[in-house]
Structure formats: C-alpha cells, structure tokens
Structure 1
Amino acid sequence: MQVIMASQQHGAGHMLALVPVTNEAPAIDGKDEYLGAFDVALTKQYTVTDIEGDGVTINEKLNGVLIRSRNAAGTHTLDLSLQWDALTLGKHTITIEANDIYVNPPHQPTIRTWTFTKLLPIKPKTPQIVSGLGDVVAKFTAYKNALAAKVGGVPGDTLEELIAKLGTMKKYVSGTVMGSADVRVFEYANGGGTTNTYYATVNDLPFKPAVILFKGAKGAYDYRLVYTEKHPAGSLYKVPTVMYAESTGSTTGAGIQFKGHTQSAIVTDKMFTLPVGISGITWEWEAWG
C-alpha cells in the first residue's frame, strides 16, 4: 500500500496532488483445472504472491471443508495424506482461497479450484482379484441360466424375475417309506366309524403338501392312495384331510375313504402320517405343495 504526494509551486502558493490508494488481492499461480485420477494421496505445490507485500491468509478446502490454514505468501504444498483414507472413491474438489490482511478498499479473495478423482489402489494382487471376480460372474451366470431353464425363464431374466417365478411354482418332493408294523386308529370319511390300520410317516418335509400320492405293490395287487387338502366333492365330508385308498385286482378295500383323525392322520409343513392299510411293503410317495 502506498500514498504518493506531489507538490507544484505557482507563485507564492503550493498545491498538493493526492494519488488514490490501491489494494490488489493476492495472486495464486496456475489455473482452475482437473488434476487427474489418483490411487494414492494427492499432493500439489502452489505459489501465492501479493504485489504490495501485504500479510496473506490462505485457506485450503476439500469439498468445501477447511482442512488447513496458512499465514504467509510463498510456495506451499497441498497434502491430502490425512484425509485420503476417509475420502470416498470418485470425484472431489479442492479450493485454495488467498486474501491479504487489509480490507480498505475491500476486495474478494482469490480462489483457485482443482478437481480430481480418487481411484481404488492398484495392489500386486489386484489383477488376480479382478480375474477371480470374472470367474465368479461367469459361474453365477451359468447357475442363473440353469435356474431359468428349470422355472420357465430365459437366460436374460434377472435374479429378481427368477425369484418371482419360483414363488408361483408348484412345490414337489418325493421318496420312499416303509409302512408301519403296528396299527393306529383312523376314521372313515363316510361316517362309518373307525378302524385300526397300518400307516406311513415321512419327516423333514420342506413344505406342507396339498396333495400326496402313495404307490405300492404286494403280491398280485397294486395299491394307490391319494391325500388331498380338500375332497374333490367339495363340502361332501366337511373335513380338510381325506384319504382315498384304492387297490387294483381286488374288490376288498376298493374305494375306502379315510378322514383325518386327531391322533393319527397328520399333515404339517414338516411331516405327515397317513393310513396306508397294508403292512410289509415299501411305498413310493410324491407330494405337491
């Protein structure tokens, strides 16, 4: 800051000429620009000068947050080492604000703006990791396409679409089971009382069946037993659990119908116990949800 006075003599008098006082903002070298992409902490030198030699304050900001202040012009180094680990991947902004200590006449601070991108560090194992991720994606895609084929989808279906298709599919499970050696009480569906008969129990079901089919053979006879949640005739028996037992090659026992007995015929989401009427054979069974 300077004040210059000049005098001129005219006869016996004197005249003073006053030059206006000026105060220029500090200067920051370089230009506003994109600095590039970095996988290690960014450092950058910059220089601040003030033409009048005034005292200078400098504020370094990262994404608008003050990270460091300085109180002198000169060459300085911006260093983001302390902030780097907490910095998210992607684009960020640095601003350098410089102002002198005089406010008369007032002026705006000088601002330099830089942007940069933080990248994931490249480490020795990164290529192997990337390659391994590629293998995982390929295997996942193969499994997804196989699932699509089973649920009526197409290879381009998303996982969400395939899950939705699974929710609409009929559930199915099958196996074999040996009929019991003892008997339990089961009730006839037509109101004809009860009977002691053999049964079969299957455990560890993944769902509660709506339909169960038993198939078995003994001697000259083939047996078919069907369980349904609701009798085909609707409200004929007014009970949800009905067992139809039919045998081929014999009139004895043909068309026998059982209904659920509170202590015997049980169907849950984990197991079922149902009358089969015949002992000493292995039953093939299928269940649908």
Structure 2
Amino acid sequence: MNRVTEQESNYKHIEKMSVLEVLQGINNEDKQVAFAVEKSLPQIAKLTTAVADKMKKGGRLFYIGAGTSGRLGVVDASECPPTYGVPFDWVVGIIAGGDTAIRKAVENAEDDVAQAWKDLQEFNINEKDCLVGLAASGTTPYVVGGLNIARQHGILTGCIVCNEGGPIVAGSDFPVEVVVGPEFITGSTRMKSGTAQKLVLNMLSTAVMVQLGRVVGNKMVDMQLTNHKLVDRGTLMIADELKINYEDAAELLSKYGSVRKAVEASKS
C-alpha cells in the first residue's frame, strides 16, 4: 500500500529555516486540509446518516484508535455530554493502551489485532451500535482487528483515514478517506492528518446531534450548565428566545435547569 501520509515532506532542510519560515510552511500545509475534507463530504454524509439512523433507534457510537487518532476520538466523545446534554455512554472513545495512553504513549499498544474487540466488550457493544475506526495510516492493526470483528457481529462500521484504500477502509461499511498529502515533518501525522480527522469528527458528532434533536435554531439547548460562562450563555439564550430581560431568564434557568426545559415550560 502506498501511504501518502509517510511520503517525504515537500520541505528540505527545515532545521535551517527561521522560526517564521517554519510557521509559514506549516500554515501553508494546513491551508490544504479543509479543501481535502471538502472532497470527502459525500463520504462523511453517508457515514453521518448511517450513524444517526442507528442512534435514533437506541444505538451508541464508538470510536477506536491509537496515538493521536485515539486521543482525538476520546476528545470528541468526551465533549458530547457537556455540549449536548446526552448520557456519557452515547458516544464512547477508546484508545489503544487504555486511558494511560491519552497522556503517555504505550509501547506496541496499536500492534495487537485482537485488543480493540476485547476493549469494546467492556461496553457490551452489539448490533444496535456503530463503530468508527480512526487511523491516519489506514493500516493500524488495533483498528483493523476491531472493525473486522465488529463487522462479523453485524455492527455498522466506518472509518476516518488519511490514505486511500487499505485494510481499515476494506473493513468499513462507510469509509471516509481524507487525503491531505505529505506532512510538513515527514510522517508526523499529528499535524495535517490529525487536523483533518478532528474536522471530520466535529462534523460527524455535530451533525448526528442535530439529527437527534439536540440543537434548536442554532443553539445548544441541552448543554450542561457546569460553570458561570455556560450559565450566562444559557440565560442569554432564554432571554433571546422568549424576548424577556436577563434577570427573568436567569430565574427561569435556575428553576428548570436547562435552556430547553425553561423555554418549553414558558411556551406551554
């Protein structure tokens, strides 16, 4: 397999560049990422629609990945409950090597082809659920094994990779291939590839939550009110929606505990 993510950088003698030249080079490469994602929008739409359909019927969304890809999945999953007020087990991110690997690389964790399925068993994954594999290379054994076994059990599979083809794409019902080209630092896929995966994850989880009714107008009406900034944001949402003053909106939010409940109760 010809992995574009491992091809040599287009930049030579980077160590001799000035700081500004290094930054300009990285920025020039980053500019290409959104256009690469744009080319993959039809694939992203298919994956998103399939995941939303499953979740409307009570299914969950799982991400598996190693290294940067795994961390990005954990981040996306962890942000769904506070942003959209959904249960913590609706979207689950699993990284090769366990939670320790979020902060510190775990040696050889991504090379075990059987471990992902073992990790998924802790959550009793079943045919109602969806599994999305994350890997810049498209070849990570941990992800390949997890997807293949999940498919054998009738679980919907998808992936977000930065090379065309490969075993992870082959193991996915709904693959997303975002080819961003060689990295600024040869093989450093935490850069353009990681950015591309983050953009796609933002799209996937956000669009799914919209389909699940977790956005009204353009507002996060079910967000968790975990700090003063979010309480203030929620109060302003209510004031704007009901055309009332800030103090009355704050009282409603305190009484009902969420933007959605406060607005619905006031309009009923």
Structure ID, larger Rg: 1
- The structure with the largest helix share of the pair is 2
Confirm or deny a common fold (TM above 0.5): no
When normalised by structure 1's length, the TM-score is 0.20
- The structure with higher relative contact order (CA 8 Å, sep 6+) is 2
TM-score (norm 2): 0.21
